[in-house]
């Protein structure tokens, strides 16, 4: 009996639809080759800035319910042209992307970084870089708590509250230890404990406590500012990094940059408990300036498919995608149109 996987697809804005088209091409190839019993039932949702401009909807309740009942979500990128005045009344990031991450309890935001030998890093000598950032996804400065009083007056006060719970910190820390244990056995907590003493204290104490359950993992701590230094001077030192939502946002863009481009950076917004569907997306944004020109690199979206397949337990299909990307990257010379990259990787998957 074939297994059916319902996949919600949100191509989004800008280059989103282009990279998602290639990602689905590769998905189909990999499933055909390595998981022929599995049927992907794909339902596309037109959400993002474009949709909002059309009918004023950001995430209608009915569509949200349908997405919630899917087995997994593939997302391209959402967001319109920066400073588009027609978008001033909406916050697509908070209303759509963060809403999905928070409501679907994607407490793990998994962001691997590899420097492929043939990809030119902006770093003179990046070394053998292969780490994963385990970014908390449902707490911290991202919760949206806070507000303004006396807005627009000389007496305005704008507060943002970072909320961190023992429950939330422990579950992500345990997940990160699990990753480290399955990798090279090294976990680095990144925070700013000397200044953010309340939140930092909770994170630090939690890591110290959970460490007792993972004697095979060596634990290290870095302040976030110092971590950025090591990202450019010695990124190969990292194996697994665990950090909060905001620091993880910053570090993973930096990681994308040092690994030779955000065009290769994949991510999974994961609910490990399986209560809700997990969501896979490239780290990059919608890049409206190059949209529709077949200039975008779909590799990050394709690698997100590898994460998606792995999450669904389709390990062979996932490995095929990763290997095909690695092989494709190894022979890259100049720029190719988006679809050509997707075609090339699909062919490699089928080999």
Ligand X SMILES: CC(C)[C@H](C(=O)O)[C@@H](O)C(=O)O
Give catalytic residue positions: 142, 192, 225, 249, 253
Which residues fall within 8 angstroms of residue 78, CB to CB, at 6 or more apart? 10, 12, 13, 16, 47, 48, 49, 92, 93, 96, 97, 286
Show the site string, 257-296: x = touches ligand X by CB under 6 A, - = not. Answer: --------------------------x-------------
List 39, 149, 157, 195, residue binding ligand X (CB under 6 A): 195
Q: Which two tokens stand for residue 326?
A: 């690695």
Residue 292 known to bind ligand = yes
The whole-angstrom separation of Cα 20 and Cα 289 is 17
Residue 45 engages a second copy in binding (rule: CB under 8 A): no
Q: How far is the CB of 245 from ligand X (least distance, A)?
A: 7
Residue 316 engages a second copy in binding (rule: CB under 8 A): no
Which residues fall within 8 angstroms of residue 32, CB to CB, at 6 or more apart? 350
Q: Which is nearer to ligand X, 73 or 97 (CB)?
A: 97
The whole-angstrom separation of Cα 81 and Cα 53 is 12
Looking only at residues 199 through 238 of this chain, which bind a second copy when binding is defined by CB under 8 A? Answer: 199, 201-202, 205, 221, 224-226, 228-229, 231-233
Q: Which is nearer to a second copy, 23 or 196 (CB)?
A: 196
Nearest to 274 by CA among 310, 312, 244, 245: 312
Residue 2 near residue 277 (C-beta atoms within 8 A) = no
Q: Which is nearer to ligand X, 97 or 134 (CB)?
A: 97
For 87, how many CA atoms within 13 A lie in the half-sphere containing its CB? 19
Q: Which is nearer to ligand X, 111 or 311 (CB)?
A: 111
For residue 74, give the 3-state DSSP assignment.
strand
Residue 144 near residue 178 (C-beta atoms within 8 A) = no
Residue 93 engages ligand X in binding (rule: CB under 6 A): yes
Residue 249 engages a second copy in binding (rule: CB under 8 A): yes
Residue nearest to ligand X (CB): 93
**Residue linked to tokens 């088209």:** 21
Looking only at residues 65 through 94 of this chain, which bind a second copy when binding is defined by CB under 8 A? Answer: 79, 82, 91, 93-94
Measured CA distances, 127 to 120, 123, 182, 234 (Å)? 12, 9, 22, 7
Looking only at residues 217 through 256 of this chain, which bind ligand X when binding is defined by CB under 6 A? Answer: 225, 249
Query: Which stretch, 39-47, 192-200, 295-303, 307-315, contacts a second copy (CB under 8 A)?
Result: 192-200
Residue ranges that bind ligand X, judged by CB under 6 A: 93, 97-98, 194-195, 225, 249, 283
Bind-site residues: 101, 111, 135, 225, 249, 253, 285-297
């Amino acid at each position: 009996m074939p297994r059916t996987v319902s996949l919600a697809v949100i191509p989004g804005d800008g280059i989103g639809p282009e990279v998602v088209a290639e990602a689905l091409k590769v998905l189909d190839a990999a499933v055909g080759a390595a998981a022929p019993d599995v049927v992907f039932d794909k339902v596309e949702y037109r959400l993002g800035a474009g949709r909002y401009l059309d009918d004023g909807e950001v995430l209608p309740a009915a569509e949200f319910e349908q997405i919630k009942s899917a087995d997994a979500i593939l997302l391209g990128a959402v967001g319109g042209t920066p400073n588009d005045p027609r978008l001033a009344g909406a916050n697509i990031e908070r209303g759509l992307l963060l809403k999905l991450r928070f409501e679907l309890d994607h407490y793990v935001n998994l962001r691997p970084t590899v420097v492929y030998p043939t990809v030119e890093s902006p770093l003179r000598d990046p070394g053998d870089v292969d780490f994963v950032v385990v970014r908390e996804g449902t707490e911290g400065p991202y919760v949206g708590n806070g507000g303004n009083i006396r807005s627009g007056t000389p007496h305005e006060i704008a507060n943002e509250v970072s909320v961190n719970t023992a429950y939330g910190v422990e579950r992500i820390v345990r997940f990160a230890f699990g990753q480290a244990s399955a990798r090279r056995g090294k976990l680095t907590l990144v925070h700013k404990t000397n200044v953010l003493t309340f939140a930092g204290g909770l994170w630090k104490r939690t890591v110290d406590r959970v460490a007792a359950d993972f004697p095979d993992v060596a634990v290290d701590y870095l302040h976030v500012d110092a971590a950025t230094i090591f990202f450019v001077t010695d990124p190969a030192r990292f194996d697994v990094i665990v950090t909060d939502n905001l620091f993880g946002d910053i570090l993973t863009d930096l990681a994308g940059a040092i690994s030779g481009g955000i065009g290769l950076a994949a991510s999974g917004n994961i609910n490990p408990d399986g209560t809700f569907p997990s969501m896979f997306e490239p780290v990059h944004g919608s890049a409206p300036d190059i949209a529709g020109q077949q200039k975008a690199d779909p590799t990050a979206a394709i690698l997100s498919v590898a994460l998606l397949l792995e999450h669904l337990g389709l390990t062979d299909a996932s490995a095929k995608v990763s290997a095909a990307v690695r092989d494709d990257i190894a022979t890259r010379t100049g720029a190719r149109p988006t679809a050509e990259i997707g075609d090339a990787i699909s062919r490699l998957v089928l080999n």
